[in-house]
Amino acid sequence: MFCNQCEQTANGTGCNISGVCGKKPDVAALQDHLIYGLKSLALYGEKAGRNAEIDRFLIEGLFTTVTNVDFDPAKIAILIKRCYAMKEKAKALAGVTIPGEIATWKPADNLEEMIRQGEAHGLNTFHDNEDIRSVIEIITFGLKGMAAYVDHAMILGRSNDDVMAFFHKALAATANKELGLMDFVGLAMECGQQNLTVMGMLNAAHTDTYGHPVPTKVQLGTKAGKGILVTGHDLKMLEELLKQTEGKGINIYTHGEMLPAHGYPGLKKYSHLVGNFGGAWQDQAKEFPNFPGAIIFNTNCIQRPAASYMDRLYTWGLVQWPDVTHIEGWDFSEVINKALACPDLPEAPGQEILTGFGHNAVLGVADKVIEAVKSGAIKHFFLVGGCDGAKSGRNYYTEFVEKAPKDTVILTLACGKYRFNKLELGDIGGIPRLLDVGQCNDAYSAIQIALALADAFKCGVNDLPLSLVLSWYEQKAVIILLTLLHLGIKNIKIGPSLPAFITPNVLNFLVENFNIAPITTAEADLKAILG
């Protein structure tokens, strides 16, 4: 196997024995096979035009291969067979036959042969030029990350034909050996442009359905009684679970990227949504044994479950682990019955933290923020956020926030906030110094805040007293970075390490055009930013 798509990849180059994430070689090969099949589908899908079933499958197929989503080889094999059926349907709709190995792809009938085919279809087989391969990987990983956001939007009934057309175009292009380096660079930038549309679409889906987030205190302790812990990203799944548990004496807790759900009026209205348990995804194996209720994943970030909680663990949506019960559809009665049979959680009040500072909430007090900047009360804004992870060096983000001067404000989003969201940072004239904007896709809110400030001060975003200090782990971070680059945002610091799939020449391009730089130390980076 060879997999280099996440930040924790072995030796900073690639996992070639077994994935650090827990992905085995057979799963890695099947995921490579699925991506190969999706390229074949895209070649015909680009010519066939929009078809809801094909488009939906393409999104689900890409999202399945995101880090920490699907570890079940039998399920991926089923998807590969479905991919071939979708490819044949697209071929019939297109009314053409495309020559070439990828266009004529057909999977084997048995699992072992599918795995062998996948081993022959890795990303490194398309081009000899390592810089072209690097940008192709950036595009492919970006499409995977964008597919995750489109999936959430589709669950809420939203889609966009232009975005779907781009998915087919871009994925088909990665199978084109005739394109050159700058062709792929252009596609990568367009990928960022399309994702801005996607994040706006998902933001509208969330806010139209659940209202704009409002600043909300979230309890980190537990309440006496039965409990279900929900981890992942999908708000619709949480809503359905809240509806089905109402009046049944079960408290619902969020975990990881579900924390921002507490800020939405349409979700916080449920009195049995009582708090957040635990921290970021990488601590689940340590924390879940201490949660005696039922636990359900609704998107990525699953790790190998421990035996102590495997029998009360469930998955839903695209996330799966072998031998873990998977819930199909919207009936959560099995999870509810398990929670009722589990021991009670103790009455153990904990710290309260704030979430819910989406762009609507922040811009609602924009006059105070602008006045604080003009008066000198706020000297600088830092966006410190992104993915968390287990790799050493991420304490940098805690130190950065701790050492940031008291006249600065920290915007944060995604699970990277767990490195510092329990810190007591105080406020500046009633404006909290730490503003939790939301999930990783809520980078859209951070962008809207930055654009509004730039408009208020009649300057460009790069001229604002705003610095981006980002942490990355998987493919959703890749697509957000491409979105920021599309917007022309410069001087981004990124860590804890640079992606293994970026070659020296591609890195040099990013440095020369966007002044991207790796993090160093919190003290040195603060000094460089603030002078």
CA distances from 287 to 119, 179, 219, 306, 460 (A): 36, 48, 16, 11, 44
CA distances from 105 to 1, 79, 85, 125, 189 (A): 21, 15, 11, 15, 29
Q: Where in the chain is the domain with CATH 3.40.50.2030?
A: 216-341, 357-530
CATH topology of domain 216-341: Rossmann fold (3.40.50)
Give the predicted TM-score (pTM) of the model.
0.97
Burial of 307 (C-beta count, 10 Å sphere; 0-12/13-18/19+): exposed
Burial of 113 (C-beta count, 10 Å sphere; 0-12/13-18/19+): exposed
95-102's contacts with Cβ under 8 Å and 24+ in sequence apart are 96/44, 96/47, 98/43, 98/44, 98/47, 102/36, 102/39, 102/40, 102/43, 102/175
Burial of 510 (C-beta count, 10 Å sphere; 0-12/13-18/19+): middle
Q: Phi/psi at 56 (nearest 5 deg)? A: -65, -40
CA distances from 70 to 30, 439, 496 (A): 11, 21, 25
- Rounded to whole angstroms, how far apart are CA atoms 242 and 226? 14
Per-residue pLDDT of the chain (531 residues; tens, 9 = 90+): 999 999 999 999 999 999 999 999 999 999 999 999 999 999 999 999 999 999 999 999 999 999 999 999 999 999 999 999 999 999 999 999 999 999 999 999 999 999 999 999 876 667 889 999 999 999 999 999 999 999 999 999 999 999 999 999 999 999 998 999 999 999 999 999 999 999 999 999 999 999 999 999 999 999 999 999 999 999 999 999 999 999 999 999 999 999 999 999 999 999 999 999 999 999 999 999 999 999 999 998 999 999 999 999 999 999 999 999 999 999 999 999 999 999 999 999 999 999 999 999 999 999 999 999 999 999 999 999 999 998 888 999 999 999 999 999 999 999 999 999 999 999 999 999 999 999 999 999 999 999 999 999 999 999 999 999 999 999 999 999 999 999 999 999 999 999 999 999 999 999 999 999 999 999 999 999 998
Place of tokens 């705003």: 466
The residues near 132 (Cβ < 8 Å, ≥ 6 apart) are 180, 181, 184
Q: Where in the chain is the domain with CATH 1.20.1270.20?
A: 10-209
pLDDT in tens, 250-284: 999 999 999 999 999 999 999 999 999 999 999 99
Decide: 209 and 156 in contact? Cβ < 8 Å: yes
CATH topology of domain 357-530: Rossmann fold (3.40.50)
> Is CATH 1.20.1270.20 what the domain over 10-209 is classified as, yes or no?
yes
**Bridge partners (DSSP) listed for residue 296:** 230, 314
